[in-house]
Chains A and B, each alone.
Chain A
Amino acid sequence: MNVGDIQKILKADLICGNEDQLEYEVQTACGSDMMSDVLAFVKNQSVLLTGLNNPQVVRTAEMMDMRCIVFVRGKTPDSSVIELAKDHDIVILRTGLRMFTACGLLYSNGLRGGCEKE
């Protein structure tokens, strides 16, 4: 699937990102509010779902070459977060869904965790 599919599946708002970026192919995702947990499993994950709202979310995505951050529970990122995401060509989506539901929907549509066990 691509970033645009994620937006549709989660009925998410596009907070930052352009048409081209919606075409980014993504295969794996990771959902957490603890950034070191995210950083512990590098398997070319390209999407980060989180309820955390601060610039370290973008930095974490940056270090892992992720392409899309989804803020769950309707969290609206601060402008500092959005600016940083723009600098690093990272798409930001916002969904009103909670973490469990958002992850479940993406999983049932074929997105995986990217770790061997999953």
Chain B
Amino acid sequence: MSESINLKYIVPGDDFTRAGEASGAVKRKLKQLGFNSDVIRKVAIAMYEGEINMVIHAGGGEADVEILPDKIHIILADQGPGIPDISLAMKEGWSTAPDNVRSLGFGAGMGLPNIKKYSDELKIETELGKGTKLFITVNVSN
């Protein structure tokens, strides 16, 4: 694999049951390309948490994934409400998720901390009323 592979997914905001399809597809692609399972799992979990966030907090969005031999870049962009206080949102256990989201098994306030933990780089751009963009990078170590 010498060139980069670019993948793009639309993440629908109105169907919770489909959240995770994009992450699952990326996981399968990385497996097919022969990446090691630790790298695959880091990418899958970080992207899945971000994908779920776009669905439950932002009405859906888009995922762009760039696969390079030595790193994987994931950009998750939505046009949701934005995050008022990023440092608060990064705290373990901090969540604004309503009860109905909690009854679906999310809203523990662990998603962003998980993304931070499983990625090698995480940048968040957010503007209130405009949307949020996550830039996630996972390095491929051999």
Residues of A near any B CB (own CB < 8 A): 33-37, 39-40, 42, 50, 52, 54-57, 59-60, 62-65, 80
A56's partner among B19, B41, B109 (CB-CB below 8 A) is B19
**B37 in the interface, Cβ–Cβ < 8 Å?**
yes
Q: B17 — which chain A residues lie within 8 A by C-beta? A: 54-56, 80
B49, A54: Cβ atoms closer than 8 Å: no
10 cross-chain pairs, A with B, having the tightest CB-CB distances, nearest first: A36-B110, A59-B20, A34-B108, A63-B44, A52-B105, A35-B105, A36-B108, A55-B17, A63-B48, A36-B111
A57, B41: Cβ atoms closer than 8 Å: no
Using CB atoms, name the residue of chain B closest to A59. B20
Pick from A52, A63, A64 the residue with the most CB of B within 10 Å.
A63
Q: How far is the CB of A70 from chain B (nearest CB, A)?
A: 15
| A52–B19 alpha-carbon span in the complex (Å) | 16
**B1 in the interface, Cβ–Cβ < 8 Å?**
no
| A59–B111 alpha-carbon span in the complex (Å) | 15
A65, B37: Cβ atoms closer than 8 Å: yes
Q: A37 — which chain B residues lie within 8 A by C-beta? A: 108, 110
A40, B110: Cβ atoms closer than 8 Å: yes
A40, B20: Cβ atoms closer than 8 Å: no
| A80–B102 alpha-carbon span in the complex (Å) | 20
B37, A39: Cβ atoms closer than 8 Å: no
Q: How far is the CB of A21 from chain B (nearest CB, A)?
A: 19
Report B107-140 CB contacts with A as 1/0, cut-off 8 Å.
Answer: 1111101100110000000000000000000000
Q: B23 — which chain A residues lie within 8 A by C-beta? A: 59, 63
Q: B114 — which chain A residues lie within 8 A by C-beta? A: 36, 39-40
**B35 in the interface, Cβ–Cβ < 8 Å?**
no
Report B79-109 CB contacts with A as 1/0, cut-off 8 Å.
Answer: 0000000000000000000000010111111
A39, B48: Cβ atoms closer than 8 Å: yes
Q: How far is the CB of B116 from chain A (nearest CB, A)?
A: 11
A63's partner among B27, B104, B107, B109 (CB-CB below 8 A) is B27
